[in-house]
Amino acid sequence: MNIFRLAGDVSHLVAILILLMKIWRSKSCAGISGKSQVLFALVFTTRYLDLFTVYISAYNTVMKVVFLALSYATVYLIYMRFRNSYDSENDTFRVEFLLVPVIGLSFLENYAFTPLEILWTFSIFLESVAIMPQLFMITKTGEAESITTHYLFFLGLYRALYIANWVWRYHTEGFYDQIAIVSGVVQTIFYCDFFYLYVTRGEEIGLKSYCVMKSQRSCSS
């Protein structure tokens, strides 16, 4: 394992913990897309079906369990524990527009036409677009707590570090995974605009300012 992979995993874990701590401490899931979190839980579930059949390392096994547990804990807090604060009126992204093409691609583009391999491919494709309901919700409401910007920042950082990991592995091991790389690049693109504003303007931008600036860019282009 190289430093980029490790840093990417840590960034991913930090993002999820930031979100969980935000919900638990505020006793509210306002501004958080439950649909995105369900999609992420589905990503981990379909990707880690080999948890009890394939052993790679203790680190790999522990991280699989941690991500599964945290993703379902987040879904539980949103839809059960603090469901009264869930903003379902603004969390309206049509997830079928993501699921249908992702399912189709999983059957058409995979490394082996077996159930586990198709589900693994499905998880890779789905992860690349799972954040879209959250971004749609932010754009629709025009605001969110600053803690959500940190969550999005660390998710974007996780993907950027994984791209560095793939570059490193290609040059040192000759490893090349077209499905994972293409999907990872697509996912990173979704974060690029927000990532740039976060780094250059910091917390000052907020999500409301982010949405306003995106609108201004669209009008001037």
In a domain, 220, yes or no: no
Q: How confident is the model at residue 63 (pLDDT cuts 50, 70, 90)?
A: very high
In a domain, 218, yes or no: no
CA 83 to chain CA centroid, Å, is 21
Q: What span, in angstroms and rounded, lies between the C-alpha atoms of 6 and 9?
A: 5
In a domain, 216, yes or no: no
Q: How confident is the model at residue 61 (pLDDT cuts 50, 70, 90)?
A: very high
Q: Is the pLDDT of residue 22 over 70?
A: yes
In a domain, 140, yes or no: yes
Q: Is the pLDDT of residue 217 over 60?
A: no
Q: What is the pLDDT of residue 182?
A: 84
In a domain, 217, yes or no: no
In a domain, 221, yes or no: no
pLDDT, averaged across the chain: 85
Q: Which positions ≥6 away from 167 have C-beta within 8 Å?
A: none
Q: Is the pLDDT of residue 207 over 90?
A: no
In a domain, 117, yes or no: yes
pLDDT in tens, 188-200: 777 776 666 555 5
Q: At what angle do helices 34-47 and 58-76 cross, to 10 degrees?
A: 150
Q: Which positions ≥6 away from 198 have C-beta within 8 Å?
A: 149, 152, 153, 205
Q: What is the pLDDT of residue 193?
A: 64
Q: Is the pLDDT of residue 213 over 70?
A: no
The two three-digit tokens of residue 162, written as one number: 């994984």
Q: How confident is the model at residue 39 (pLDDT cuts 50, 70, 90)?
A: very high
pLDDT in tens, 130-188: 988 988 888 777 665 666 778 888 988 898 899 899 889 888 888 888 888 888 888 77
Question: What Rg, from alpha-carbon coordinates, does the chain have?
Answer: 18
Type of residue found at 11? S
Per-residue pLDDT, averaged over 83-92, amounts to: 92
- Nearest by Cα to 20 from 68, 79, 63, 78: 78
The angle subtended at Cα 69 by Cα 134 and Cα 87, nearest 5°, is: 30
* pTM of this structure: 0.84
Contact 79, 32 (CB under 8 A): no
- CA atoms in the 13 A half-sphere facing the CB of 215: 10
Q: Percentage of the chain with pLDDT > 70?
A: 84
Q: Which positions ≥6 away from 105 have C-beta within 8 Å?
A: 121, 125
Q: What is the pLDDT of residue 219?
A: 43
> Whole domain around residue 207: which residue ranges?
3-211
> Is the Cα torsion angle 105, 8, 130, 34 positive or negative in sign?
positive
In a domain, 81, yes or no: yes
**What total number of domains does the chain contain?**
1
Q: Is the pLDDT of residue 220 over 90?
A: no
Q: What span, in angstroms and rounded, lies between the C-alpha atoms of 150 and 147?
A: 5
Contact 108, 171 (CB under 8 A): no
pLDDT in tens, 4-13: 999 999 999 9
Type of residue found at 153? F
> Is the Cα torsion angle 12, 176, 189, 134 positive or negative in sign?
negative
Q: What is the pLDDT of residue 149?
A: 77
- Nearest by Cα to 43 from 103, 122, 123, 118: 123
Q: Is the pLDDT of residue 218 over 50?
A: no
Q: Is the pLDDT of residue 73 over 70?
A: yes
